[in-house]
Chain A
Amino acid sequence: MQFLFPSLTIGFALLAVPLLVHLINVLRQRRREWAAMDFLLASYRKQRKWIWLRQLLLLLARTAVIALLVAMLAGWAGRAGWLDVLGGQTNHHVVILDDSLSMADQSGGSTAYRRALSALESLGRRLSSSEGTHQLTVIRTSRAQLVVQAGSQAGDAAADLSAQTIGTENRTLDRLMATDASPMLGGLPEAVELAAGLIEATSADRTVMYVMTDLRSRDWENPERMNVSLQEIAKSTAEIRLVDCSDEPGQNLAVTQLQPVEDVWVAGVPVMVEAKVRNYGQRVVTNVALDAKLIQYGRGVTVPRSDQLFSGNVETLPAMVIERIEPGGEATKRFQVFVAEPGTHALNVSIPDDVLAADNQRSCTLPLSDQQKVLIVDGDPSGGAAYFVASVLNPGGQVRTGAVPDVRPISFLNSVTSEELARYRVIYLLSLPRLEDSVARLLDQYVSDGGGLAIFAGESIDRESYNRLADARPGLLPGTLLPVKELPLPTGDATPDLVPTGTHPIVAPLAAVGEGAFGLVRVVRSFGLEASRDQSLSVRTVVRRRDDQPFVVEHRRGSGRVVTVLTDLNDASTNWTGDPTFVVFLLRTNAFLWSTANPEVSRLVSQPIELRIGNEAFGRSVDLLAASKAPPRVSIQLQAEVDENERFLELQLSPALAAIDGSMDLQALMQPGVFEWWLTRLDGSRESLPTASVLPVGEGDLRRLKRVDIDRVLQPTIVTFYDAGQMAMANESDGGGGRTGILLALLGAMLIGEQVLAYFGSYHPPARARA
């Protein structure tokens, strides 16, 4: 209960007066000796109950009169639903609370999100002391985004408060005060859309929508969707207030990428890791220190450490410095990581803190397998081509590429099964004269499931057979093989016979060298190709001939990739096998095809965290140590489910579903960093499996749009701009229904009631006595 003049509430002490008067009257009654006691007592016995009731009602009425009088004088401003029902109007306040990552911007002192919370708190406080009924709806943009992502359009599911009547105590609002900005990107359009639905579904005399946001430029780049919702809201006569919660942004750098370069990720083979840092600021930054940490998880790590950020062994990698990043520019730093033990490890890089701390670090996992076999099948019984390939992939000595070549004859394919093929990471088919349909089917399945296939199509192959295969199983081959085409002899200063396509990852290192890289390579002839027009295959030329005919092409098939080289590896067609570029090409091709089946090294914070482990190796009980800014970390105990085939145990934790059903701590689930699955083997020992959550890229861009520009963007919707600090002073009294007037009317009614009760209670002197 709140009062405009709290000091006057001392008047409530007067509530005791009627009771005291009653007691004094009892004590001060006149004594009278009486003869006709029988009649008096008879009368009393007959009316005793009514007399008591009337006296009680009278006492209450007098107390109520005093209470109302004091409440009116003290300026009762608190919430009283019963009172508001009598005469107050219902006001619905809908708050869109932008809790995207950019709201964590600390420019100007506190974060923009904290300012928004303060504004919300002051709004709540003001509403609780304002006249009329005030309902408050609060929708955080992150929750709105997750709910929409989960396929729901229910504003109630996204709202922290849904048309909740505001009182002096509101625990949900208090809980909101303890939240932080989410790691999500955007979300305003979704929140406004859900709010429009809620506003339409909620009956109120007056609706005010507050959008508490930071006015970042990128939020208004595509305002069409939001505009539609805002216009819908404006049509329902709701007032729209845009509350600016941020200050002018300071310099912000963000780690926008961290991942191992596509390659063979094998223990004992150095892995290149690529980190990118973007300068979202307005000025050049120099000498940006990049700290990298390698967290090794292996058989030796068996104890979950919730008191530390990582349970694995942390190794700080040599410090790196990015010399210069232009405003809006991005710098890439590559560094090598070597881990001898197979398993999934983790990496973390960080840059010095700035106004937006959350994007100053990024993590990824480093899944390193043991060496794996690659299958080489040569159509030439002499195995010449196979030798070239095998010697590149396994040069011998201390050099490891991660691949273990397994050279097999053509006959191997006649009896091979899909299970056997699945054991190979990459399959090389070197000028096989023809592919039987049964083999083609297995290969198609192998690639579709994520395998890598390299086809070398020399002159010895049966082109018609391959083309029939292309027709029968579209997608396994990049298109229709055309007859062999001779490459005309070079004239004058002609370019080399082969030209790499610079953007393709297989030849990117060679392209960086320039056209001279293939300077010594000679190509006599190769098959022509009419590439498939199927867009899903996305056939790309990796290397082309001087006459623009494709020489090496790559395409996708299901989850896998296929690289097709339109020539033989014998000397009659080309001398490429003797050129150093072939070694580079083959290693890169191997890495490219190998990485097709590489696991994801990170997931966006808003995506589900998934686990899939062997049913026969692990128990169902699983612990998840959540990522955290600082220890201690939250440990979540879970039970994995057995899949349909009973081969795997599976678990999926979806932030979107958690936002709807509240089954999990959403804030913990969406924390960027390294999460650790802790599995229990059937022998009781523990094993950890790290997984990395990363922030979406873009929220680090803190540039703001001017209010006038937003006004223009939102035309014809009319919005009123507020600063977060002004919220405390915004007037809400127009929403009241004149509580003072209602109190006065109640007081009058109470006084009349008191007089009536007193009359019927025979406390008024009889007319004869007055006369």
Chain B
Amino acid sequence: MIKQYEEETNLRLHLLVDSSASMKYGQGEQNKYEYASSIAACLAYLANRQQDATGLVTFDNKIRRNLSPRTSRYQLARILEALDGTGPNNTTDLYAIMREVAESVPRRGVLVLISDLLGVGDSLVKALSLLRKRGHDVIVFHTLHDEEIDFPFTGATRFEGLEDSRFLNCNPRALREGYLEALNAFLEGTRRVCARLSVDYEMVRTNQPLDAVLAKFLSARASMPTLKG
């Protein structure tokens, strides 16, 4: 005779939201930081309903806000308040941040990184490796604006860097092909890194409906013990 049962466990969810200056890109709801915050809020809401402990870290080159995971009914409000109170600024130092997070989270948990990953360079590999070595389940929401993916610009344009003082005067049409080539190489590289480290990777465009993004993500995680829809 076979007995079948389902074990309920408490999940510790860490939401890591990139608040560097590059996340400022985009207007209104399609602003990358806004979009990342929305993802974080939704996930926090879902986890909170399941009585899972949910924490939040917003960071650029430093940790700006750090809320330890709790199951309290007020945790969601604190998370929302923390997201709302943080403005995108500065550059990103992903590895330093992740090392700090890893050290401050002794128990294994689920770490959700919501970032555009721009300007992180090789530190992405090191950061994800570090988290994975600590036994964390890592999920990456790679948040990019439509214009960053399609580069639809025409006419003489002066592009000025959001995270530094670099700029370029150019005819964007002339550079589009090279740009897309470099971007795709970056995306492909990121996907490969995540796959190699068994990190769930989800590339999201800021014009995608949030529910569709989350539904797709959650259905993919359906076999997971928690975070089910």
Which residues of A come within 8 Å of B, CB atoms?
25-26, 28-44, 46-47, 51, 54, 761-766, 768-769
Interface string of B142-170 (1 = CB under 8 A from A): 00010010001111111111111010111
Selected contact of B175 from candidates A44, A54, A768, A769, CB within 8 Å: A44
The 10 closest A-B pairs by CB, nearest first: A43-B178, A762-B173, A29-B156, A35-B22, A39-B182, A762-B174, A34-B159, A37-B161, A43-B175, A43-B179
Closest to B118 in A: A35
Closest to B171 in A: A762
A46 and B176 form a contact (CB under 8 A): no
Q: A47-B178, A761-B174, A762-B173 are in contact. Are A29 and B25 (CB under 8 A)?
A: no
Q: In the complex, what residues of B have CB within 8 A of residue A41's CB?
A: 166, 168
B158 and A32 form a contact (CB under 8 A): yes
Q: In the complex, what residues of A have CB within 8 A of residue B29's CB?
A: none
A29 and B160 form a contact (CB under 8 A): no
Q: In the complex, what residues of A have CB within 8 A of residue B23's CB?
A: 35
Selected contact of A51 from candidates B154, B161, B174, B183, CB within 8 Å: B174
Q: In the complex, what residues of B have CB within 8 A of residue A42's CB?
A: 178-179, 182
B157 and A32 form a contact (CB under 8 A): yes
A34 and B183 form a contact (CB under 8 A): no
Interface string of B53-68 (1 = CB under 8 A from A): 0000000000000000
Q: A36-B148, A44-B178, A769-B152 are in contact. Are A763 and B173 (CB under 8 A)?
A: yes
Q: A26-B169, A46-B178, A762-B176 are in contact. Are A38 and B156 (CB under 8 A)?
A: no
B158 and A35 form a contact (CB under 8 A): no
- B116 interface hit (Cβ, 8 Å): yes
A44 and B168 form a contact (CB under 8 A): yes
Q: In the complex, what residues of B have CB within 8 A of residue A763's CB?
A: 171, 173
Compute how far the CA of A43 lies from the CA of B180 in the bound complex, rounded to whole angstroms: 9
Most buried by B among A33, A36, A40: A36
Q: How far is the CB of B119 from the nearest CB of chain A, in Å?
A: 7
- B103 interface hit (Cβ, 8 Å): no
A34 and B178 form a contact (CB under 8 A): no
Selected contact of A37 from candidates B153, B156, B159, B176, CB within 8 Å: B159
Compute how far the CA of A768 lies from the CA of B116 in the bound complex, rounded to whole angstroms: 26
Interface string of B172-199 (1 = CB under 8 A from A): 0111111101110010000000000000
Selected contact of B177 from candidates A25, A28, A34, A43, CB within 8 Å: A43
Compute how far the CA of A42 lies from the CA of B179 in the bound complex, rounded to whole angstroms: 7
- 18 A-B residue pairs with CB within 8 Å: A28-B156, A31-B157, A31-B160, A32-B153, A32-B160, A34-B161, A35-B118, A35-B162, A37-B163, A37-B166, A39-B179, A39-B182, A39-B186, A43-B181, A44-B175, A762-B171, A763-B171, A766-B152
Compute how far the CA of A25 lies from the CA of B173 in the bound complex, rounded to whole angstroms: 15
Selected contact of A36 from candidates B152, B177, B183, CB within 8 Å: B183
- B24 interface hit (Cβ, 8 Å): yes
Q: Apart from A29-B155, A34-B162, A41-B166, list 20 A-B contacts with CB within 8 A.
A: A29-B169, A30-B156, A30-B158, A33-B159, A33-B162, A34-B161, A35-B118, A36-B179, A37-B162, A37-B168, A40-B159, A40-B175, A43-B179, A44-B170, A44-B178, A47-B178, A762-B171, A762-B176, A766-B152, A769-B152
Compute how far the CA of A46 lies from the CA of B179 in the bound complex, rounded to whole angstroms: 10
A29 and B154 form a contact (CB under 8 A): no
Q: In the complex, what residues of A have CB within 8 A of residue B164's CB?
A: 37
Q: In the complex, what residues of B have CB within 8 A of residue A761's CB?
A: 171, 174
Which residues of B come within 8 Å of A, CB atoms?
21-25, 32, 116, 118-119, 145, 148, 152-164, 166, 168-171, 173-179, 181-183, 186
Q: In the complex, what residues of A have CB within 8 A of residue B186's CB?
A: 39
Compute how far the CA of A28 lies from the CA of B163 in the bound complex, rounded to whole angstroms: 24
Compute how far the CA of A728 lies from the CA of B160 in the bound complex, rounded to whole angstroms: 67
B166 and A766 form a contact (CB under 8 A): no
Compute how far the CA of A31 lies from the CA of B172 in the bound complex, rounded to whole angstroms: 12
Q: How far is the CB of B20 from the nearest CB of chain A, in Å?
A: 9
Q: How far is the CB of B56 from the nearest CB of chain A, in Å?
A: 23
Q: How far is the CB of A72 from the nearest CB of chain B, in Å?
A: 31
Q: How far is the CB of A630 from the nearest CB of chain B, in Å?
A: 74
Q: How far is the CB of B169 from the nearest CB of chain A, in Å?
A: 6
Q: How far is the CB of B32 from the nearest CB of chain A, in Å?
A: 8
Q: How far is the CB of A91 from the nearest CB of chain B, in Å?
A: 48
Q: In the complex, what residues of B have CB within 8 A of residue A34's CB?
A: 25, 159-162
Compute how far the CA of A25 lies from the CA of B171 in the bound complex, rounded to whole angstroms: 10
Q: How far is the CB of B51 from the nearest CB of chain A, in Å?
A: 37
Closest to B20 in A: A35
Selected contact of A31 from candidates B119, B158, B163, CB within 8 Å: B158
Q: In the complex, what residues of A have CB within 8 A of residue B153's CB?
A: 32
Most buried by B among A28, A32, A43: A43
Q: In the complex, what residues of A have CB within 8 A of residue B163's CB?
A: 35, 37
A30 and B155 form a contact (CB under 8 A): yes
Q: In the complex, what residues of A have CB within 8 A of residue B168's CB?
A: 37, 40-41, 44
Compute how far the CA of A762 lies from the CA of B178 in the bound complex, rounded to whole angstroms: 12
Q: In the complex, what residues of B have CB within 8 A of residue A26's CB?
A: 156, 169
Q: How far is the CB of B183 from the nearest CB of chain A, in Å?
A: 5
Q: In the complex, what residues of A have CB within 8 A of residue B161's CB?
A: 33-35, 37
Compute how far the CA of A469 lies from the CA of B87 in the bound complex, rounded to whole angstroms: 143
Q: In the complex, what residues of B have CB within 8 A of residue A29's CB?
A: 155-158, 169
Compute how far the CA of A208 lies from the CA of B22 in the bound complex, rounded to whole angstroms: 79
Q: How far is the CB of B221 from the nearest CB of chain A, in Å?
A: 28
Q: In the complex, what residues of B have CB within 8 A of residue A38's CB?
A: 118-119, 182
Q: In the complex, what residues of B have CB within 8 A of residue A51's CB?
A: 170-171, 174-175
Compute how far the CA of A761 lies from the CA of B23 in the bound complex, rounded to whole angstroms: 32
Q: How far is the CB of A21 from the nearest CB of chain B, in Å?
A: 11
Compute how far the CA of A762 lies from the CA of B163 in the bound complex, rounded to whole angstroms: 28
Q: In the complex, what residues of A have CB within 8 A of residue B170's CB?
A: 40, 44, 51
Compute how far the CA of A42 lies from the CA of B163 in the bound complex, rounded to whole angstroms: 17
Q: In the complex, what residues of A have CB within 8 A of residue B176's CB?
A: 43, 762
Q: How far is the CB of A32 from the nearest CB of chain B, in Å?
A: 5
Compute how far the CA of A139 lies from the CA of B176 in the bound complex, rounded to whole angstroms: 67
A36 and B173 form a contact (CB under 8 A): no
Compute how far the CA of A32 lies from the CA of B156 in the bound complex, rounded to whole angstroms: 11
Q: In the complex, what residues of B have CB within 8 A of residue A33's CB?
A: 24-25, 159-162
Selected contact of A765 from candidates B32, B118, B154, B169, CB within 8 Å: B154
Closest to B166 in A: A37
Closest to A760 in B: B174
Q: In the complex, what residues of A have CB within 8 A of residue B152's CB?
A: 766, 768-769
Q: How far is the CB of A11 from the nearest CB of chain B, in Å?
A: 27
Compute how far the CA of A580 lies from the CA of B152 in the bound complex, rounded to whole angstroms: 131
Compute how far the CA of A46 lies from the CA of B181 in the bound complex, rounded to whole angstroms: 11
Compute how far the CA of A26 lies from the CA of B156 in the bound complex, rounded to whole angstroms: 7
Compute how far the CA of A43 lies from the CA of B175 in the bound complex, rounded to whole angstroms: 6
Q: How far is the CB of A220 from the nearest CB of chain B, in Å?
A: 76
B173 and A766 form a contact (CB under 8 A): yes
Closest to A29 in B: B156
Q: In the complex, what residues of B have CB within 8 A of residue A54's CB?
A: 174
Q: In the complex, what residues of A have CB within 8 A of residue B182's CB?
A: 38-39, 42-43
Q: How far is the CB of A757 from the nearest CB of chain B, in Å?
A: 12
Most buried by A among B21, B157, B159, B173: B159
Q: In the complex, what residues of B have CB within 8 A of residue A25's CB?
A: 156
Q: In the complex, what residues of B have CB within 8 A of residue A43's CB?
A: 175-179, 181-182
Q: How far is the CB of B129 from the nearest CB of chain A, in Å?
A: 22
